[in-house]
Amino acid sequence: MSRIGKLPIPVPAGVKVEVDDKNLVTVKGPKGTLTQQVDPQVKLNLKDNELLLTIDNEKTMGAKHGLYRALVHNMVVGVTEGFAKTLEMVGTGYRAAAEENGKKLNIAIGFSHPVILTAPENVTFETPVQTKIVIHGIDKQTVGSLAADIRAIRKPEPYLGKGIKYENEHIRRKEGKAGKK
């Protein structure tokens, strides 16, 4: 059995977990609602404010056991606490601004035009400083994917380190041209 899959998922007060007959899991909490389709071979049992996932066949479902447990756990964490990713912009003149209550992001990254992004549902942008972008949301996959898309606009280059990078990302720097002797 999966080590991750065996762990129970604690369901905090104020969070409601529903499983219908087609194994569609719906998690409702103070920050919103998330749904996830779970494989029919995975059984979900809710008792004493803990959700436990069990499988019938370990050989065929061992890997999916941990996967679905992690997905449902991320849903519970997302509707209670939420997720956030922070990006930093390095470069002269690079700046970002959140507009329309965090629903739009205006990025000036050295192109001839500003890059304007619209946030998907349940996601907001925040710019505490002109060179930092914080993405908040309840769905971990959406937040991570959006952060990767923003980083792909201008990846950090290895010589000067200019571009958009994750907050704690270390950029391996290359040595420039060496002068002739």
- The crossing angle, in degrees rounded to 10, of helices 58-80 and 140-153 is 80
Phi, psi of 71 (to 5 degrees): -65, -45
Q: Which amino acid, 71?
A: L
Q: Is the pLDDT of residue 179 over 90?
A: no
Q: Is the pLDDT of residue 2 over 70?
A: no
Residue 58, token pair as written in the block? 């370990």
- Which strands form 9-10's sheet, in the order they lie side by side? 9-10, 50-55, 42-47
Residue 156, token pair as written in the block? 């950090």
Nearest-angstrom CA–CA distance, 88 and 59: 44
Alpha helices by DSSP H, listed for 28-113, are: 58-80
Q: Is the pLDDT of residue 180 over 70?
A: no
At 34 the pLDDT is: 94
Start-to-end C-alpha separation, the chain: 63
Full set of structural domains in the chain with CATH = 3-80 (3.90.930.12), 83-166 (3.90.930.12)
At 89 the pLDDT is: 95
Of 128, 131, 133, nearest to 146 (Cα)? 133
At 6 the pLDDT is: 83
At 181 the pLDDT is: 64
At 41 the pLDDT is: 86
pLDDT 10s digits, 9-33: 999 999 999 998 888 999 999 999 9
pLDDT 10s digits, 99-153: 999 999 999 999 999 999 999 999 999 999 999 999 999 999 999 999 999 999 9
Does the predicted TM-score (pTM) go above 0.85?
yes
Over residues 162-173, the mean pLDDT reads 93
Residue 121, token pair as written in the block? 């549902």
Residues β-bridged to residue 35: 26
The three-state secondary structure class of 99 is: strand
Q: For 4-8, 142-146, 154-158, 167-171, which range has the lowest pLDDT when averaged over its residues?
A: 4-8
- Cβ proximity of 27 and 15 under 8 Å: yes
Q: Which amino acid, 127?
A: T
